[in-house]
Amino acid sequence: MSKRNSLFIFILTIGVFGILNTEMGVVGILPLIAEHFHVSVSTAGLLVSFFALAVAISGPILPLLFSGINRKKVLLLVLGVFVLGNIVSIFAPNFTIALIARVIPAFLHPVYISIALTAAASSVPQAEAPKAISKVILGVSAGMVIGVPITTFIANTTSVENAMLFFAIVNAVAFIAMLLFVPSMPVKERLSYGTQLSVLKKPILWLSIFAVIFINAAIFGVYTYLAEYLETITKVSGETISLMLVIFGVASLIGNLVGGTLLTKNAIKSVVSYPFALGAIYILLLLMGTFTAPMFIIVLLWGVLFAVGNNISQYWIASAVPEAPEFANGLFLAFGSLGITIGSAVGGLFISGMGIQYVLLAGALFLILSIVFILLRNTMYSSKKQLIQHSIKVANHS
């Protein structure tokens, strides 16, 4: 990969980090936000849930609508809106204004991510695309697992306004770097909306979508309750939980690079193996969850697989319809978010009905469903490939 491509992908990644940091950073400071705006914590939680809802709604739509416009202009537009939204949040006189200032940029979240993934893949030879994409997804993981503690530290040591300022600064840095160092990126082959929407007729796409929904549900059905599991089952202190969460976060950054490498070497084998690997982690959690020392190792491995799952989910949908990459990435974001919502909800039901230790059953249920749809897609793909090869042989003979 050339230095120019490396810089380009790094700038894309900074932008992704800024956007994901804006989305997830408030998670750790909801009590402080509630106090700042004089609302309840549950009301403050709307900053998270409404943001996620906006992403789920716009994911299949806005990347499609922006797909024919110069990519650099669109990326700058999104980053600019995020900077303005964060600045408004700093000076918001009430909670309603702060909520609106978050939700409006949230609708553009899938536009940036889908274009960033597509642009990264197209900037390198096809064989290197998974590695380039994994570096952009690194920004997603960093925003989710590193942005939260950074934001929490800033808010606790200074103020909520300074935490919002941190969001604005990161997005502004990405905006300036994009403006100065990224050349114009006109769309060379503009696909009509009808052509892109026509991929929804493909059964292989829907098999991929359901697999991704269940993979994400399997991941987040358990991960959402990791801290509670460590507190209740492993019975460790709050400081140890914090340390384990940091280990999980660092491991997930490594996992992005591992995921890109695995998909580059053997994509199909990596996808098929993934549910079994994550299932093995859940079995270890069940058997060793009460022991502190083994849990450090389990959490480390779990963090790696957490990030690999993001890479696999993106690849599985994008590879199903390579002719419409930005639309496919929008679908990945929308249905990945749907999987997170379903997994978290079902995991919560298992906990409330049976206890925290049984949250692993929710993860196992979704893993089984993901295996079914992964194998169905593989069967369809291999059958179709064999039919094409047979047709070529017949044509050559005749």
The CATH number of whichever domain residue 142 belongs to comes to 1.20.1250.20
Q: Which of 107-116, 150-159, 233-242, 376-385 has the highest mean pLDDT?
A: 107-116
**Domain-terminating residue out of 169, 186, 203:** 186
Query: 320 CB contacts (<8 Å, ≥6 apart)?
Result: 202, 204, 205, 207, 208, 328, 377
DSSP labels for 157-202?
HT-HHHHHHHHHHHHHHHHHHHHHHS-----SSPPPHHHHHGGGG-
Query: 393 CB contacts (<8 Å, ≥6 apart)?
Result: none
On whether both 360 and 384 belong to a single domain, the answer is yes
Rounded distance, CA 324 to CA 129, Å? Answer: 15
On whether both 146 and 233 belong to a single domain, the answer is no
Rounded distance, CA 398 to CA 137, Å? Answer: 48
Residue indicated by tokens 């490498």: 261
- Rg (C-alpha) for the chain, rounded Å, is 21
- Choice between 345 and 18, residue whose per-residue pLDDT is larger: 18
| Terminal CA-CA length for the chain | 45
Please report the pLDDT score of residue 276 as a whole number.
Answer: 97
Domain that holds residue 4: 1-186
Rounded distance, CA 337 to CA 311, Å? Answer: 14
**Confidence band of 29 (pLDDT split at 50, 70, 90):** confident
pLDDT in tens, 323-332: 888 888 888 8
On whether both 215 and 161 belong to a single domain, the answer is no
On whether both 170 and 220 belong to a single domain, the answer is no
Is pLDDT at 86 greater than 60 in this prediction? yes
CA torsion through residues 366, 368, 374, 380, sign = negative
On whether both 291 and 335 belong to a single domain, the answer is yes
**Confidence band of 26 (pLDDT split at 50, 70, 90):** confident
On whether both 249 and 221 belong to a single domain, the answer is yes
Q: What mean pLDDT is reported for the chain?
A: 87
* Number of domains present in the structure of the chain: 2
**Domain-terminating residue out of 138, 167, 186:** 186
Is pLDDT at 193 greater than 80 in this prediction? no
Mean pLDDT, to the nearest integer, of 74-88? 96
Please report the pLDDT score of residue 100 as a whole number.
Answer: 95
Whole-model pTM: value is 0.80
**Domain-terminating residue out of 145, 162, 186:** 186
**Which residue type occupies 356?**
I
**3-class secondary-structure state, position 398:** coil
Mean pLDDT, to the nearest integer, of 344-351? 86
On whether both 158 and 262 belong to a single domain, the answer is no
Pair 211, 370: CB distance under 8 Å: yes
Percent above pLDDT 90 for the chain: 43
Is pLDDT at 387 greater than 70 in this prediction? no
pLDDT in tens, 266-302: 999 999 999 999 999 999 999 999 999 999 999 999 9
pLDDT in tens, 194-240: 777 888 899 999 999 999 999 999 998 888 788 788 888 999 887 88
On whether both 181 and 237 belong to a single domain, the answer is no
Query: 16 CB contacts (<8 Å, ≥6 apart)?
Result: 112, 113, 116, 136, 137, 139, 140, 143
On whether both 319 and 284 belong to a single domain, the answer is yes
On whether both 198 and 152 belong to a single domain, the answer is no
Is pLDDT at 55 greater than 80 in this prediction? yes
On whether both 228 and 134 belong to a single domain, the answer is no
On whether both 5 and 89 belong to a single domain, the answer is yes
Please report the pLDDT score of residue 390 as a whole number.
Answer: 41
Rounded distance, CA 70 to CA 67, Å? Answer: 8
